[in-house]
Amino acid sequence: MVKERRYISKSGWCVEEKLVGGGSRTPAQLFPEKYQRRRRLLILIIIFVVLVVIILVTIGLVQKLVLTKTLKYGIVIDAGSSHTSLYIYQWPAEKMNDTGLVTELTSCKVKGPGISSYWMDVKKAGLSLKHCLRYAKEQLPDKQHHETPVYLGATAGMRLLRSQNQNLSQDILTSVEEFIKTFPFNFRGARIISGKDEGAFGWITINYLMGNFLQDQDGGNRPTVGALDLGGASTQITFIPDGKIESVASSLHFRLYGKSYNMYTHSYLCYGKDQALKMLLGQLNVTNDGSMWNPCFNSGYSQVINLTTFFNTPCTSGPQTTTHQTVTLNGTGDSAQCSNYVKTIFNDSPCDWSSCSFDGIYQPPVQGKFAAFSAFYFVMNFLNVTEESDFDKVKKSVDSFCSRPWSEVRSSFSIEEQYLSEYCFAGHYVLSLLHRGYNFTSNNWNSIKFMRKINGNNAGWTLGYMLNLTNMIPVELPYTRPFTYTSYLTVMVIFSLLLLILLSVGCLIYKKKLCSVENKI
């Protein structure tokens, strides 16, 4: 009879029984019931781990999916002095307040002049919007037409008309309102906005699109950018100065995203590009033969103008002494003389404040970066100097263009002659307004950035206007997520690895305990 002896071998997972005389039996043979329980438990653990991994992977994939956005829309109609434009904005429906979420979907330029030009036939003011309102209707989903707000803001052209005839300006607004109401939008009204509001909303638009209202990575406040706007009938300057603002009339207070802003803003009616040209022409003499010689038009340029329609504005009284109803405007292309003439537009009135711009208007010293848009951009872009930081080089470019004969200019550019002919004056006017008017010097000229768009959005007052009327700019900082997307994935990976480690340790502990029990047996 063969005597058997059992002992523990360290080979394998647990124990192995050796038999005297050869042969062996595994733990599964020695303890079949316990082995089966352990195997079932391990299978459950493996299934659980697999499920956890699948869940984590699924969450990660779902997080990365680009889901179909539910969007809301808003329309703002900019009824300017020289033309009207319609802008359509969109934003995610579930996110109303975060900076930069509202973006421009598309825009439409209304054919013809500004609505203030229809004072002789007010019904045409509303009809002029027909094409762009139809375009807006086509661009937006049918089911959202009735909930899309439409705002119309009229600027300096209508402010001038209102100063001449308040009833007539109201008739034009009524015509516009009645026509817009024929479209299936949520029309919120048409009104003439003040120059102060126009400057403030332009400043809000610029800084909103640049993300300057939110905090930087260190938790500090980002510096804001000043806004320089030039239209056809007015110009605005808005910025945050150092120290106290002396003039209450030029001061505005905003609290946006948890920070208070005390801004300086002023709007100069009649100092838009078109009205400034009329003021300049009003100062020039008409000769006995009905001619007017202007150094701010290229040599060889000639145009017959009707004084009655050309000077029908409160900004100028027209030529002082002339019996002519029409005059012939002739260009001489004298850049130096044009520069001197343009400077006379700015009145050197006594300054009763610590510092002034022109016409005795209070203005603190300019500081920081500035965004110059609207006609500022278009004039400088035409002269190809939007990126030039040297004031003297910009002036040389203006001088060079003014010295070119009209025949050469006309053949070199495919632009409507009415606008092309005014670029010599416009170049000098922009330089004088910024340098002599707003007190920018050759030392800080590079602080001005001429721009048309910011991240695909037109620079101007319309976006800020809509954000204000829809209450989409919060007073305090909006709630932010505790984790960024990257942080979220990092936390998920760390905890997933920790889960696997804990499960592995648990399995090892379980195996060791089972082996000890079997060893005792």
Do 87 and 182 lie in a common domain?
A: yes
Residues 186 and 78 in one domain: yes
H or E element in which residue 304 lies: strand 302-306
Range from 160-169, 300-309, 314-323 carrying the lowest mean pLDDT: 314-323
What 3-state class would DSSP assign to 25? strand
Q: Which two tokens stand for residue 214?
A: 């939110």
How far apart (Å, rounded) are the C-alpha atoms in residues 371 and 226?
Answer: 6
For the beta carbon of residue 351, count every other beta carbon within 10 angstroms. Answer: 15
Q: What is the mean pLDDT of the chain?
A: 84
Average pLDDT, stretch 470-493? 62
Question: Is it the case that residue 518 has pLDDT exceeding 70?
Answer: no
State residue 9's pLDDT score: 45
**Would you say residue 6 has pLDDT above 50?**
no
Query: Rounded distance, CA 357 to CA 329, Å?
Result: 31
Residues 149, 83 share a domain: yes
pLDDT at residue 190 is higher than 80 = yes
The answer to whether residue 163 is domain-embedded is yes
Tally of CB atoms within 10 A around 85? 17
Rounded to whole angstroms, the Cα distance separating 443 from 244 reads 24
For residue 184, being part of any structural domain is answered with yes
Residues 60 and 80 in one domain: no
96-145 pLDDT, tens per residue?
556 668 899 999 999 999 999 999 999 999 999 999 999 999 999 999 99
Choice among 316-325, 327-336, 372-381, 423-432 with the minimum mean pLDDT: 316-325
The answer to whether residue 451 scores a pLDDT higher than 90 is yes
Confidence label for 252 from pLDDT (cuts 50, 70 and 90): very high
517 vs 56, higher pLDDT: 56
- Specify the DSSP element, H or E, that contains 397: helix 391-402
Mind telling me the catalytic residues?
Answer: 198
- The amino acid at 233: A
First to last CA, the chain: 24
| Residue 13 confidence (pLDDT) above 60 | no
Alpha helices in 233-365 (DSSP H): 273-283, 307-310, 335-343
Mark whether 55 and 129 lie in a shared domain.
Answer: no
The rounded distance, in Å, linking the Cα atoms of 510 and 171 is 89
Q: Which of 157, 172, 192 corresponds to the end of one domain?
A: 192
Residue with tokens 């603002």: 245
Q: Pick from 171, 192, 213: which residue ends a domain? A: 192
Q: Look at 21 and 86; give whichever has higher pLDDT.
A: 86
- Averaged pLDDT, 338-357: 92
Instruction: Quickly count: other Cβ atoms within 10 Å of residue 12's Cβ.
Output: 10
pLDDT, greater one: 242 or 506: 242
**Encoding tokens for residue 53?**
């991994």
pLDDT band at 307 (very low <50, low <70, confident <90, very high): confident
> Does the structure show a pLDDT above 50 at 187?
yes
Top-confidence residue, 429 or 518:
429
How many whole angstroms separate alpha carbon 195 and alpha carbon 162?
13
Tell me the two tokens of residue 306: 């009707």
Vertex 129: Cα angle to 123 and 132 (nearest 5): 165
Strands 370-374 and 448-450: parallel
Q: Give the pLDDT of residue 387.
A: 94
In this predicted structure, what is the pLDDT of residue 2?
A: 43
In-domain check, residue 178: yes
- Give the C-alpha separation, 333 to 221, whole Å: 49
Distance CA 53, CA 416 (A): 67
Q: Cα dist. 442→229, 379, 381, 393, 439 in Å?
A: 20, 19, 19, 10, 10
Q: 183: closest CA among 40, 341, 77?
A: 77
Q: 167-171, 226-230, 290-294: which range is least confident on average?
A: 290-294
pLDDT value at 256 more than 70: yes
Choice between 485 and 188, residue whose per-residue pLDDT is larger: 188
pLDDT at 495: 62
Helix, strand, coil tally for the chain in percent (to 5)? 40, 20, 40
Condensed to tens digits (0 to 9), the pLDDT of residues 128-140 reads 999 999 999 999 9
* Whether residues 120 and 154 fall in one domain: yes
Among residues 209, 185, 213, 212, which one has the least CA distance to residue 129?
185
Position 379 scores a pLDDT of 97
Q: Which helix (H) or strand (E) holds 177?
A: helix 166-180
Residue 495, domain member (yes or no): yes
Specify the amino acid at residue 216: D
Dihedral angle over CA of 401, 437, 83, 112, nearest 10: -50
Task: Name the DSSP class of 316.
Answer: B
Please report which confidence band the pLDDT of residue 275 belongs to, taking 50, 70 and 90 as the band edges.
very high
pLDDT of residue 11: 43
Within a domain: 384? no
| Predicted confidence (pLDDT) at residue 27 exceeds the cutoff of 60 | no
407: CB partners within 8 A, 6+ apart = 300
pLDDT band of residue 8 (cuts 50, 70, 90) is: very low
The DSSP symbol for 112 reads S
357-369: average pLDDT: 95
The answer to whether 161 and 148 have CB atoms below 8 angstroms apart is no
Please tell me whether residues 171 and 58 are part of one structural domain: no
What DSSP element (H or E) covers 164? helix 156-164
141-161 exposure pattern, b = at least 16 Cβ within 10 A, e = fewer: eeeeeeebbbbbbbbbbbbbb
Q: For position 516, what pLDDT does the model report?
A: 53
Partnered with residue 419 across adjacent β-strands are none
Tell me which of 192, 222, 254 is where a domain ends: 192
Same domain, 21 and 128: no
- 111: in domain: yes
Going by C-alpha positions, the residue among 226, 235, 208 that lies closest to residue 454 is 208
Lowest mean per-residue pLDDT among 279-283, 286-290, 517-521: 517-521
Pairing of strands 302-306, 149-154: unpaired
Among residues of the chain, what percentage have pLDDT more than 70?
75
Task: Identify the domain containing residue 120 by its residue range.
Answer: 70-192
Greater pLDDT, 35 or 47: 47
Looking up residue 80, the CATH number of its domain turns out to be: 3.30.420.40
Q: What is the pLDDT of residue 31?
A: 57
The pair of structure tokens assigned to 411 is 């053949």
Q: Tell whether 39 is covered by a domain.
A: yes
Q: Does residue 166 fall inside a structural domain?
A: yes
Q: Which residue has the higher pLDDT, 105 or 305?
A: 105
The reported pLDDT for the residue numbered 213 is 85
The answer to whether 127 and 166 have CB atoms below 8 angstroms apart is no
Q: Is the pTM above the cut of 0.85?
A: no
Rounded CA-CA distance 16/26 in Å is: 5
Residue 444 buriedness (CB in 10 A; 0-12 / 13-18 / 19+): middle
Residue 187 token pair: 């029309």
If asked whether residues 123 and 177 sit together in one domain, one would say yes
Residue written as tokens 């002739």? 330
Higher pLDDT, 418 or 402: 402
pLDDT band at 51 (very low <50, low <70, confident <90, very high): confident
Whether residue 177 sits in one domain with residue 77: yes
Kindly tell me if the per-residue pLDDT of 521 is higher than 60. no
pLDDT at 101: 83
Kind and range of the H or E element at 84? strand 84-92
What's the average model confidence in pLDDT over 76-94? 92
Asked whether residue 123 falls in the same domain as residue 34, the answer is no
Residue 306 binned pLDDT confidence (cut-offs 50, 70, 90) = confident
Taking the C-alpha atoms of residue 70 and residue 413, their distance in angstroms, rounded to an integer, is 44
Q: How many CB atoms lie within 10 A of CB 262?
A: 13
Q: Are residues 96 and 179 located together in one domain of the fold?
A: yes
User: In this predicted model, which residue has the larger pLDDT, 413 or 70?
Assistant: 413
**Count of structural domains within the chain:** 2
User: pLDDT tens for residues 401-412?
Assistant: 999 999 999 999
Instruction: Give residue 71's pLDDT.
Output: 87
